[in-house]
Chains A and B, each alone.
Chain A
Amino acid sequence: MSQIELLKFITCGSVDDGKSTLIGHMLYDAKLIFADQEQALLLDSKVGSNQGKLDYSLLLDGLMAEREQGITIDVAYRYFSTERRSFIVADTPGHEEYTRNMAVGASFAQLAVILVDASKGVLTQTRRHVRICSLMGITDFVFAINKMDLAGYEKQTYEDICDDINELLAGFYTSGAQMIPVSATEGDNVTFHSEKMDWYKGPTLLAYLEQVQIKEHTGRHFYMPVQRVCRPDYSFRGFQGQVASGTVRVGDTLTVLPSGETAGVKRLFSLDKEVSCLAEGMASTVVLDREVDVSRGCILADGEFFCRSNLFAAQLLWMDDEPLGIGQEYDLQLTTENAIAVVDEISYKVDIHTGAHEKAQGLRKNEIAGCLIHLQTTMILDSFERYPRMGRFVLIDRVTNQTAACGVITHPMHRSENVVWQELEITREIRAKALGQQPKTLWFTGLSGSGKSVVANIVEKKLAAAGRHTMLLDGDNIRIGLNQDLGFSERDRTENIRRIAEVAKLLNDAGLIVLVSFISPYHSDRVRAKQIIGDAFSEIYVSTPLKECERRDVKGLYKKAREGRITDFTGIGSPYEVPKHPDITIDTTNADPEVLADQIIEKIFMQSDR
């Protein structure tokens, strides 16, 4: 008894096409209406202006507000079943300003029933219905050519309209299109064959819906976006989600995206039952045979066949009262993953009636446009045509939380894919290898005049002579450029050091050996710098005593400080905190800087590099 299948379809038509009447009549004919609803229908009908005659459309109308207005304002869902199938009908409005509601209904449906008024033929709105359904991924269409009673049940009328429909469909991808002449009010060809149109040999509307086979748009590949990690205790770690396509068996090897790690399938569950195989559509739990990093938003797949990108072209259907903000950040949701997205530019706006591409500045509610979308992080995605689930998304307004737009990816940009590959794959190790060296930061700390810069300079020259790639960051030079906004207060000094440390880290990432020559008097700042830079950090304490530094006074600063013309001068008005555990300590008072430089190179490079 429960072997029946489910068909979800949408009905599209304008206010006057008799769409509600058609569906109401189908339900009524099929004797699918519960008795008391039928009573209510009779009652409602009398209240309405239909003079006691059954008004089938009232079955489909729900909200009070719309009953008052006499139009359907939202998406309504109706349920019925025959002996062959269960049906869910999304009834969507035909009124111009409600494009977004039709998109909602179409995104839910596998097939669209589009109403065409036989007395009016194919209208611009018919094109619009097809366009929106097609945009949302529908490829199966039924055209119910309605009001045939008013067209005298003429075969010629039907055939003319069929020609027009075929012409219209030429611009879209379809996998099925059936045209049925009907009269919703009279019931011709709705559930029963019409005697008045014996020239029509095709199926009735209900018969067609009962037997149409929808081509599922899925590939052979297995993939499943992970919804959540199931971790009842330390002995079990399962990844839960719905299989989007394909099948998977215990023992198969799966790739975790985006990390690219692979693992074998150890156990599979279909809900609470352990199974050996899972197929498309099943609510699943996958247990892998080794510890890999998997969280919500990851995809388990039987290979790496999706694109990796942070830039793509898409068609957007705007749904929010607030128009699109170019350059504004939105939250993009695709499968179970989210990323911050920015619409870089509107390439064109689609004339919803003709399909023509027009130039556009902005994008408002109920408008469709081709856009270039840029993500802050790289995502696993694909074109909607290739993998529908990987190519459809919504944009959420980050301030109002409204679902601002829906969209489908037309072209993932491979240009960015390459950039992303570099970001992901060209690591510090690979860059360092290319330079043939181990990135290091040699952090020289000590009083002004202690000889930091002199020694650091010699070290750099010696390294360069040995074919190493280096960069020297000198305190004074940095203060003239990058940190020119900073003064000498404790706070500014801390920020000064933080920036230097970040720059040193970036240069290390680039594979370079960095020499920082900087007083850096505070212990806490040097600890912070070490945290930022990590293992590459070596602290070199130039311990030349204050007396000797002041004697040298290369820049005349000690003199000024003693005279009170400079405040907060390290060693005079401001403390120098001696490093507790420096990697190397040198004193330039009586030593040759060349010798000291050799010692440093010996200690830091000869030990780790070889």
Chain B
Amino acid sequence: MENQTHLDKLEAEAVYIMREVAATCEAPVMLYSIGKDSSVMLHLAMKAFYPQKPPFPFLHVDTTWKFREMIAFRDRKAREFGIEMLVYTNEEGVRRGINPFDHGSAYTDIMKTQALKQALNKYGFTAAFGGGRRDEEKSRAKERIFSFRDKNHVWDPKNQKPELWDLYNTHIHAGESIRVFPLSNWTEKDIWQYIEREHIEIVPLYFAKERPVVERDGNLIMVDDERIKLREGEEIKKKKVRFRTLGCYPLTGACESEAETLEAIVAETLGAVESERTSRVIDHEASGSMERRKREGYF
């Protein structure tokens, strides 16, 4: 029998982690952000429990500012796979008119961080799978695969439980919860290679196509609906762009690209000159901002 390749090993590790959570945690949920990492997570979950469906629901925290194509993709995938897809929106934030244009980092806090906490509390989930990878950002490089949150969903980077071998301690007190990152040891390159190998369908926004964009603070922002407020001097241009990461459309920068196929994307990624989160606007605010956000409960 052939030796396992590095992708086989990463796949087996992620599946092992998912099975451990399903077997030992009371109320697990898989967070689904519709992005490529979430697509990989969903794919792995379908394989991990086969012929059973994943024994937990999926949860999408909808800020109401996601690309329309993402929402359509989410609903279609949930139908196709026959999985339970919970969608949660911070209605209080919607009522107060919180939006990414006027409220900056408060928007992220209210519509993402707070919304996630509310959703986890509402359903009483004790373990939430996330697609976070350690190669994404410096503070993630030090986070455990099983990351513990107190009653207020706060992470204490100085008091992490040691993780030894493949023995994961999932014991928690009432009210506490665990964030679990089965893709911790994957790199962006691994993700793309795996998508290619497994023929995993991803949101078309990842592929280059002519799209209407405006240039703003050095980022190309796609005009996905009429809610975008054009600033003085900004004009909508058609450019051939794709997205390396997907989030809320006003906060997600596109990159100009000719990569229309997976092979082209992988080739482009292998020679990547920018790390992935460069195109996520919020991460630029201050050095160490991600870690601060995580301590406050951001995923």
Contact = CB atoms under 8 A, between A and B. Distances in A.
A392 B165 contact: yes
B180 to A, nearest CB: 14
B171 interface: yes
Interface stretch (A123-131, A229-237, A371-379, A528-536): A229-237
A283 interface: yes
Nearest to A238: B51
A1 B165 contact: no
A67 B287 CA distance: 11
A283 B47 CA distance: 10
A76 B142 contact: yes
Contact of B142 (A74, A227, A232): A74
Contact of A333 (B160, B169, B275): B169
Contacts of B287: 40, 44
Interface string A238-282: 101110000100000000000000000000010110000101011
Contacts, number: 170
Contacts of B292: 64
6 contacts: A4-B5, A35-B273, A242-B12, A392-B164, A393-B167, A403-B163
A6 B166 CA distance: 17
B6 A5 contact: yes
A-B pairs, 4 with minimum CB distance: A62-B138, A6-B6, A272-B50, A34-B275
A103 B193 contact: no
B222 interface: no
A65 B15 contact: no
B139 A227 contact: no
Interface in B36-59: 46-53
Nearest to A104: B162
B189 interface: yes
Interface of A: 1-6, 34-37, 40, 44, 61-65, 67, 73-79, 81, 85-86, 88, 100-101, 103-104, 107-108, 136, 227-228, 230-232, 236, 238, 240-242, 247, 269, 271-272, 277, 279, 281-283, 285, 296, 319, 331, 333-334, 336, 389, 392-394, 396, 401-403, 406
Contacts of A78: 135, 141
Interface stretch (B19-27, B66-74, B120-128, B232-240): B19-27
A100 to B, nearest CB: 6
Contacts of B272: 34
A74 to B, nearest CB: 5
A522 B7 CA distance: 69
A73 B158 contact: yes
A281 B142 contact: no
Contact of A104 (B134, B163, B166, B184): B163
Contacts of A63: 138-139, 142, 157, 291
B9 interface: yes
Interface in B201-240: none
Interface string B1-38: 10111111111100110011011000000000000000
Give the most central of B3, B169, B185, B274: most A CB within 10 Å: B169
A230 B51 contact: yes
B4 to A, nearest CB: 5
B197 A2 contact: yes
Contacts of A67: 288
B169 A401 contact: yes
B105 interface: no
B261 interface: no
A101 B144 CA distance: 12
Interface string B162-194: 111111010111000000000011010110010
A81 B269 CA distance: 13
Given A230-B49, A242-B12, A333-B167, A76 B23 contact: no
B278 interface: yes
B161 interface: yes
Say which size band chain B's interface belongs to.
35 or more
A259 to B, nearest CB: 19
A136 B165 CA distance: 9
Nearest to A85: B6
Question: Chain A interface secondary structure, helix, strand, loop or mixed?
Answer: mixed
A573 B134 CA distance: 77
Interface in B127-145: 134-135, 138-139, 141-142
Given A227-B23, A230-B50, 11 more contacts: A2-B5, A4-B6, A34-B272, A79-B185, A88-B185, A104-B162, A104-B163, A107-B165, A283-B48, A396-B169, A401-B169
A74 B160 contact: yes
Contacts of A104: 162-164
B199 to A, nearest CB: 13
A62 B12 contact: no
B18 to A, nearest CB: 9
A544 to B, nearest CB: 58
A394 B53 CA distance: 31
B5 A5 contact: yes
A385 to B, nearest CB: 15
A63 B20 CA distance: 28
A394 B139 contact: no
Given A6-B10, A64-B291, A283-B15, A403 B169 contact: yes
B149 to A, nearest CB: 13
B201 to A, nearest CB: 16
B81 to A, nearest CB: 12
Contact of B172 (A44, A75, A79, A401): A401
A101 B292 CA distance: 23
Contacts of A108: 163, 165
